[in-house]
Structure 1
Amino acid sequence: MPDNLLLKNASLPNTGGRFDVLLSGGIIAALVPAGSPLPDGPCLRDHGGTAVVGPGTQTHDLDGRYVIPGLWDNHVHFGQWVTRQQRLDLSATASAADVLDIVRSAAGGRAEMLVGFGFRDALWPDSPTLAALDSVSGSTPVVLISGDLHCLWVNSAALGILGLPGARDGGNDDGGNDDGGNDDGGVGADGSGLLREGACFEALEKLQDPTQLSHAAYARAAEAAARRGVVGIVDFENTDNVSQWPERVRHGMDSLRVEVSVWPDRLDAAIRSGVKTGDVLDSRGLVTMGPLKVIVDGSLNTRTAWCWDPYPGLPAAHPHSCGVESVPLAELQGLMAAAHSAGLGAAIHAIGDRANTAVLDAFEALGMPGVIEHAQLVSEQDFARFKALGLAASVQPEHAMDDRDVADAFWAGRTGRAFALASLHRAGAELRLGSDAPVAPLDPWFAIASAVGRSRDGRAPWHPEQCIPAAAALTASTRGRSAVRVGDVADVVVVEKDPLTVPADQLRTMPVSATLLGGRFTWSDL
């Protein structure tokens, strides 16, 4: 790594002229009009550096390319993202029959478990059944993971291996319009082979052992993220992130900053260890402790998001006609209070409008700041509460593109406040954009494009009144850094176009020329 790195003839978004950017000591040490003298040594020392341009300086002429702050994905399940590449792709399926055809071809009498990912059954014209999956898979254990990670379709052989009770059908005879939930943790009733919510998460934890994934596999995924301008992620994988991420860095996975989370089942251990949010966990300074993560409801596609109004087609007497309250409010407040007293923040999953109200109530009762993850459906009176309570909304704009038809079907009459980024932005809420990878690709440009344009695949924008300005979307993807500034950490990205003026449909494919983490290249095509 050179002592200094000089990026010459750089453009800055929505700014005239060109600039020279000096990176030194891991920070942005100088930013001057192109060709102007750089500050002398004392000036650099004021910003934490001592060297000026000299023999130890590497120079790159950007020829007008744009320099922006490094991008963060504020919600990922990184282990699931890594393993998705190894799983049977079900993302293009539109029915149970489509899935069965793919499984029939892939099973082929294999002995090892077959794992698929990406089905979305909310609008299927037919219903999944355990018998149908058994008929095409035979003795091959099969586990199929929904695209939202809240539902599994499993066969009998897999149920035995995972040590779970037989999945029973949720009475899904209305074209997929069933929330599948009941009082036994989300396992349906009558033979569907579907496991939802708590039962699904239990099975996923048994299915995925992050220690079995190679450090090289993690490094490849991190490098792929760097190619898209990513300098950091917030990892919400349900595993021992506190010990596993520093170990990965020790084995050379150094192309990302990682903020790690802890789930309720590991909260006591984290508290006993004394680790606090913001603590550095590795010798390179790349891994920091993040928040407690709690899931209080389900998802839209699985029809378990906890809402004030019932899902269409379900009788009022159905035990979960309005979705699932995964964690009672009193229990949630107890977890949050324990984390807060130990110096740990809180990031709470809430998708339905009733779940968002309950989580806002919990934060208000405890008087603590934090983050609401997803905030997909919010009551009108609750938008202003985000700012009033000092809460961030960690949102995934690409989900609006994936789920627009599902929302129109199951949240009819409410979609004006679904994925309502503009309403949150106008109310003064801090927005943080993410992907929820593997639910959506780990690519911040997808999130930015969907936030700005509310459109994909040539379709008309969906609720365009909820578009946000490009500047707001970029700031929400850079940890609040609206521009490169002297004294900031030298996490920067070089792109070919101005992200503040390029048409929304071009943001999705933004060419990235280089990514730098602490002033060193993690990706370069310069």
Structure 2
Amino acid sequence: MPVSKPTPPQGVGSTGSEHASVVQTDSSHSGLFRLSWPLLLAPILAGIVFNLKSYVFQDSPPGSYALCTPDGKNVYTVDARNTRAQCILVHKAMIVDTGSLEQIQSHWENSVVLHGVYTHKPLPVRWTKPGSIIVPGLADSHAHILEYGASQQLPLEGTKSINETVQRVRDYINANPDVKADKSMYILGGGWDHTVWPTSGWPSAADLDADPIIRDRPIVLQSKDCHALWVSSAALEGSLPFPSEVEGGVIVRDESGRPTGTLLDNAQELLRQPKLNERDLMQRFKITVEHAVKHGLTSIHDAGLDPSSLEFFKRQADIGTLPIRIYGMRFFDENGEYWGNITEPLIAYNDGRLTARSVKIFADGALRTGGAALYEPYADNPSTNGFMRLDEEVLFKYIPLFLRDGWQVNVHAIGDRANGIVVDAFEASLARANVTALRPRLEHAQMMTKEDMARLGKLGVIASVQPTHAISDMWYAEQRLGPERVKNLYAFRTLIDSGARIALGSDFPVESMNPLSGFYAAVSRLSPDGESPHGPDGWFPDQRLTRLEALRGMTIDPAYASFSESFLGSLESSKRADFVVLSQDIMEVPINKILDTKVLATVIDGEAVYGGI
């Protein structure tokens, strides 16, 4: 059958049907189903049609199209050879083929001819805009879905002082009549960052209570890193009295021993708050999904702080198709019963939209709040070297148990001591489980000795890292750690060169949700305005990733880290049609232009969930 060869439309790419290509066929084939012995052929043809796979198209192939880039090979497949192509061929939810337009049309034609099925419908060919590229669906390897939605209700990111933060809370109350009218309503916000404030101390309930609009209202404000709560007196009252000490946490107190209104790490769990209803959860979920697809995210690994998050996602999946892919980490409660041997993993539930086959464990606190567990005391606070949120014995008991029972174990570890202990626990698990096959993860892996980085590669432990943390922390990190230890902080290049596999994320709402912010930070180690403590070449520029490493780190590597590389993470035949159209080539443009890139379309299972194709 001769095939016409449509050319890309001139000017702006088409998203409609006016530029669709037409597969022309010889009219002599039109008699295929009008032979004189139809009764003989009928059962044969019926059998052929019945056994057709996704590659074979009948009379009217629903959801079939080729998407091509007009500037040549601007489809980054991220396959094993990092192949680039001109087009992808999609049928329903799957990718059928990649290649040139001629190859794609030949595949379409041969699928028809080989199976003896004639298609009366042309193959639609859609063109992206000139200069744009197509990449696999972007994934965030570490984020907090419902917490992000909550933070957007009263965002405190960017405030420069305690007073400015209080002002923002007051403005929120004044701008919402229903909130202002009900003084008993809990007001939740998040994103404050004391490291950029001129004062060195923690904020207090008194700072909130001093404002007449805020006074007597229950206010709960989550810190930027989610490791501290700043609350009003009205919010504290219902939770008192507090214990004298909290293992793995700190209750900030005044000189008289009274709680001031700041709770760190495990102490946050002491605060009693009203239980969220389904409407609250749905509102947060919708906000996050709406923002995520606008940024090109098709998959999110939820490291939820709230153990009820996964139950909510499961309920939504039972109601209908989840709007985005979620890899959920189950909550670990050291005081609860061990459940690894009695709970079934949730794998590819809801047509591959929801998986929960891992457990999330917290080893230590955060560098920003001084809770990261270090081998040596903090340079700016020699009275402490941070703290472990769990006893070492707990890690050495439960990590091997979960691995033995087939669970991926993902451990939050920030400081060099915490990371060292967790790697020890993984190593000790070798006698009970194939550690590499279960793909355990260090969530953050922020500061590690070179020896421990080398052990990651040998054990097959994945480093789930967040490049935007590096450019946020670079301004205070050396003061906190000193000039030598800081070299082992966010040492991404050393991790890779040691043989470790990485997966990139943002930890949103701690940092920007935009995955291109992480891409930019990974390859530049510069602030968005092009600055760093070490100048325009970036903060410790020898630790930069290449653009290809960064792209793989937000596509195929997160897929591997979530056991989904067989159907996600790259644009290859038989994989899900999850992809993103970007306005410019992030692999080629100058570094200072990367953040100008726009998402033109986000596609999940072959259908645009944002923009259009």
- TM-score of the superposition, structure 2-length normalised? 0.75
Structure 1 segments unaligned to the other structure (5+ residues): 169-180
Indicate the residue corresponding to 1:97 in structure 2. Answer: 163
Indicate the residue corresponding to 1:6 in structure 2. Answer: 66
Q: Which one of 488, 495, 502 corresponds to residue 575 of structure 2? A: 488
Query: Take 1:32 and 1:99, find their aligned partners in 2: how far apart are those partners?
Result: 53
Query: Take 1:505 and 1:210, find their aligned partners in 2: how far apart are those partners?
Result: 44
Structure 2 segments unaligned to the other structure (5+ residues): 1-60, 175-179, 533-537, 558-564
Query: Take 1:218 and 1:70, find their aligned partners in 2: how far apart are those partners?
Result: 20
Query: Take 2:342 and 2:172, find their aligned partners in 1: how far apart are those partners?
Result: 45
Q: Which amino acid aligns with 1:425?
A: I
Q: Given the superposition, is the C-alpha separation of residues 40 and 146 from structure 1 closer, same or farther in structure 2, using an over 3 Å criterion?
A: closer
What displacement does 1:354 show? Answer: 0.8
Q: Which amino acid aligns with 1:459?
A: E
Q: Which one of 132, 153, 159 corresponds to residue 236 of structure 2? A: 159
Indicate the residue corresponding to 2:252 in structure 1. Answer: 188
Tell me, yes or no, if structure 1 residue 416 matches structure 2 residue 492: no
Query: Take 2:230 and 2:514, find their aligned partners in 1: how far apart are those partners?
Result: 27
Query: Take 1:92 and 1:78, find their aligned partners in 2: how far apart are those partners?
Result: 21
What displacement does 1:393 show? Answer: 0.4
Indicate the residue corresponding to 2:31 in structure 1. Answer: none
SS in 2 for 1:363: helix
Counting aligned pairs with the same residue, the percent is 26
What displacement does 1:464 show? Answer: 1.5
SS in 1 for 2:313: helix
Q: Which one of 335, 345, 349 corresponds to residue 412 of structure 2? A: 349
What displacement does 1:95 show? Answer: 2.6
Range that drifts further, 388-397 or 114-123: 114-123
SS in 1 for 2:370: coil
Q: Given the superposition, is the C-alpha separation of residues 74 and 22 from structure 1 closer, same or farther in structure 2, using an over 3 Å criterion?
A: same
Q: Which one of 283, 293, 296 corresponds to residue 229 of structure 1? A: 296
Q: Which one of 259, 272, 281 corresponds to residue 327 of structure 2? A: 259
Indicate the residue corresponding to 2:552 in structure 1. Answer: 475
Tell me, yes or no, if structure 1 residue 303 matches structure 2 residue 364: no
Q: Which amino acid aligns with 1:5?
A: Y
Indicate the residue corresponding to 1:55 in structure 2. Answer: 121
What displacement does 1:429 show? Answer: 1.2
What displacement does 1:503 show? Answer: 2.3
Query: Take 2:281 and 2:189, find their aligned partners in 1: how far apart are those partners?
Result: 20
Q: Which amino acid aligns with 2:608?
A: F
Indicate the residue corresponding to 1:395 in structure 2. Answer: 465
Q: Which one of 367, 370, 381 corresponds to residue 451 of structure 2? A: 381
Indicate the residue corresponding to 2:308 in structure 1. Answer: 240
Deviations 1:48-107 (A, max 9, x none): x999976285431225532211110011110001111112x3222233333334345555
Range that drifts further, 391-400 or 483-492: 483-492
Deviations 1:293-331 (A, max 9, x none): 011100011110111121234354xxxx00011111210
Indicate the residue corresponding to 1:365 in structure 2. Answer: 428
Deviations 1:359-386 (A, max 9, x none): 1111111122400000111112221111
Q: Which amino acid aligns with 1:336?
A: I
Deviations 1:11-59 (A, max 9, x none): 234999962311125322122312343225776999xx99997628543
SS in 2 for 1:314: coil
Number of corresponding residues: 503
Range that drifts further, 119-128 or 357-366: 119-128
Q: Given the superposition, is the C-alpha separation of residues 214 and 17 from structure 1 closer, same or farther in structure 2, using an over 3 Å criterion?
A: closer
SS in 2 for 1:140: coil
Deviations 1:429-476 (A, max 9, x none): 111111111101222111111001111223132221211001001101
Q: Which amino acid aligns with 1:478?
A: T
SS in 2 for 1:387: helix
Query: Take 2:83 and 2:347, find their aligned partners in 1: how far apart are those partners?
Result: 40
The answer (yes or no) to whether the contact 1:3–1:51 under 8 Å persists in 2 is no
Tell me, yes or no, if structure 1 residue 435 matches structure 2 residue 506: yes
Query: Take 1:57 and 1:453, find their aligned partners in 2: how far apart are those partners?
Result: 42
Range that drifts further, 504-513 or 347-356: 504-513
What displacement does 1:252 show? Answer: 4.5
Query: Take 2:236 and 2:113, find their aligned partners in 1: how far apart are those partners?
Result: 62
What displacement does 1:223 show? Answer: 3.2
The answer (yes or no) to whether the contact 2:400–2:426 under 8 Å persists in 1 is no
SS in 1 for 2:75: coil
Q: Give 1 or 2 for the bigger CA radius of gyration.
A: 2
Q: Which amino acid aligns with 2:75?
A: L
Query: Take 1:386 and 1:45, find their aligned partners in 2: how far apart are those partners?
Result: 51
Q: Given the superposition, is the C-alpha separation of residues 371 and 210 from structure 1 closer, same or farther in structure 2, using an over 3 Å criterion?
A: farther
The answer (yes or no) to whether the contact 2:247–2:266 under 8 Å persists in 1 is no
Indicate the residue corresponding to 1:173 in structure 2. Answer: none
Indicate the residue corresponding to 2:193 in structure 1. Answer: 120
Deviations 1:201-239 (A, max 9, x none): 453x84673734253652342132122211101111122
Query: Take 1:52 and 1:446, find their aligned partners in 2: how far apart are those partners?
Result: 47
SS in 2 for 1:38: helix
Query: Take 1:214 and 1:432, find their aligned partners in 2: how far apart are those partners?
Result: 28
The answer (yes or no) to whether the contact 2:150–2:189 under 8 Å persists in 1 is no
Query: Take 2:198 and 2:243, find their aligned partners in 1: how far apart are those partners?
Result: 21
Indicate the residue corresponding to 1:521 in structure 2. Answer: 608
Q: Which one of 128, 131, 137 corresponds to residue 206 of structure 2? A: 131
Deviations 1:161-213 (A, max 9, x none): 3x244699xxxxxxxxxxxx97583112324321001011453x846737342
Query: Take 2:466 and 2:113, find their aligned partners in 1: how far apart are those partners?
Result: 40
Indicate the residue corresponding to 1:171 in structure 2. Answer: none
Q: Given the superposition, is the C-alpha separation of residues 511 and 485 from structure 1 closer, same or farther in structure 2, using an over 3 Å criterion?
A: same
Query: Take 1:53 and 1:12, find their aligned partners in 2: how far apart are those partners?
Result: 27
Range that drifts further, 495-504 or 363-372: 495-504
Indicate the residue corresponding to 1:140 in structure 2. Answer: 217
The answer (yes or no) to whether the contact 1:306–1:323 under 8 Å persists in 2 is yes
Deviations 1:478-504 (A, max 9, x none): 033785233332211122222222223
